[in-house]
Structure 1
Amino acid sequence: MPLIQLSHHDRYAYEPITERPDFSWPGGKRLAVAICNNIEVFSFLSGLGSDSASVTAPQTTRNYAWRDYGNRVGQWYLFDLLDEYGMPAAHNVNALLFETCPQIAERIIARGDEFVGHGRTNAERQDVLPEDEERQLIAEATEMMKARTGIQPAGWLGPYLTQTPVTLDLLKEAGYDYVLDWPADDQPFWMRTRAGPILSVPYSIEVNDSPTMVFRQEGASSFERTMIDQFDEMLLQSRKWPLVYTIVLHPFVIGQPFRLRALRRALEHIAASRDDVWITTPGQIARHFATVRPSG
């Protein structure tokens, strides 16, 4: 009987962590820590958007308002909390945010944080689009961000972490250096595109407030334990291998005060080891990795 034939991609080869060249992060650190915050805008009563109580709920005024709380209130709580601990962040920003909530972008710029491309809006996803329309989506999102920040974003995270078979090619052709959509590793790794290599930077879908507390309906204390346990174990594992620890946030989820309290305790725990880790952003991780382990 013939063996089943699996479909394969040609983007990267299998390389176990035990067989890779060793390196360190700046200052000889072994664990990089990055806070990745998703700031999203949605269409009223249409398109896509999560719900606080049901995965399959239709778009309603209630869940639209629940998500809008993040941009009106929760994001501002989060900015202040990050300021308290002196921690940078990367913000995966829907480009239409610049039109709907410009003050948020201004605060990101004032903090010196990183902008990451995150499509036009999370009311849509790109993996259902033909190549020309996906190229247009990427171009529109990129140009809106460049026009408002003066900077070409280096990184991309697709809405809902979705890609088509040609997304990596289109992103490389649009000038992107790294992506966050492939949660396959705790280290960056190079991926092939028709226009040259692009880097995959770790991005957690486990230490992530939305799947944890919205889709799996776990409580804030469970997410707090997840953040702390992941950090402690990765700090231990990083004695053997340089690793990347990420916390993934959405202000309409984590920005609720009772959940923010859980994040505060987790950041306090991480801050206690500040001298032992590199607290940074995905873009800085990508740039350093490219110097210690260049592509090709």
Structure 2
Amino acid sequence: MPAFISAQEIEAQCSLREAIETQRKVFINHARGETVLGPRAVLSQGDNAQFSYIARASQSGPTIVKFGTVFPGNSAHNLPAVQTTVAVMNEKNGSLTHFFDGESVTQLRTVATSMAVAMELVPHAEKIGIVGLGHQGVAHARAARELFSPRELIGISRTSTTNSHDEFSDIGSDIRQLQDCDLIVLCTNSQSPVIREAMKPDSLCISIGSFAPNRCEVEPRLLMNAQSVYVDDVAISSQQCGSVCEALKTVSQPWGALKSIGSLFAKEGKTRITGENYFFSVGLGIQDAALVEYILGKVA
């Protein structure tokens, strides 16, 4: 019978900083061709979606299969917008050995990757905005508070302007509150752009909700003015990240080619940014595999 690794066990076995290191390492390895990434499938169903993928964080590591759903409306009912299960197969005999609480794995590896990119590009962010205050949004806020100790941390929500979370300096519904932010994180899964106006220079916008062609958190024309556009995987994001897909079709790219965060992490020293910068994450199975492999190494 496969063992089940609960959310509590995941939290106990892996701190935020440990998770960040797993993500930095796996993306560097991915850029070097040392991971194994199977096909990623997304089935859209109106506002909702179902997905699955298979991956290994290393050539000889355990294989994970992740499947789940994205229901943005769940946030209003205090349910995770993303619900998933991660299954683990032994690398030596193929046996199904573990099931992991998928929401916890997804949340931790997504937050860790976002924070790793932010620490590279805007390490001294003083004003941070989080758009979408579901489970992912609040988790990103907690991580940003822990790692950056920002002067201001503003939450933007369509449904709640009551500051019920200690992480935030303020919660509002007007996206214009974020115009002078150093770092903006979009956690909405929106099908229409949330960010429609240019950001301030030397800033970073992270989008974790443009995970499919019909998800578009950033107005594609804004990418015309970007200094850099980073993605978790160039080939996959070019086909599946809504904002990037549309930008590649309709606007010029002064930023040149899309840049992988694996290449960013592999560089020595910090990358100095100017202008507007974006990171779009569609989410890859290698992220889950890296976190799972790390935790299994501690609980085995």
TM-score range (shorter-chain normalised) is: 0.3 to 0.5
The structure whose residues are more often strand, as a share, is 2
Larger Rg: 1
TM-score, normalised relative to structure 2: 0.32
Say which structure, 1 or 2, has more relative contact order (CA 8 Å, 6+ apart).
Answer: 1
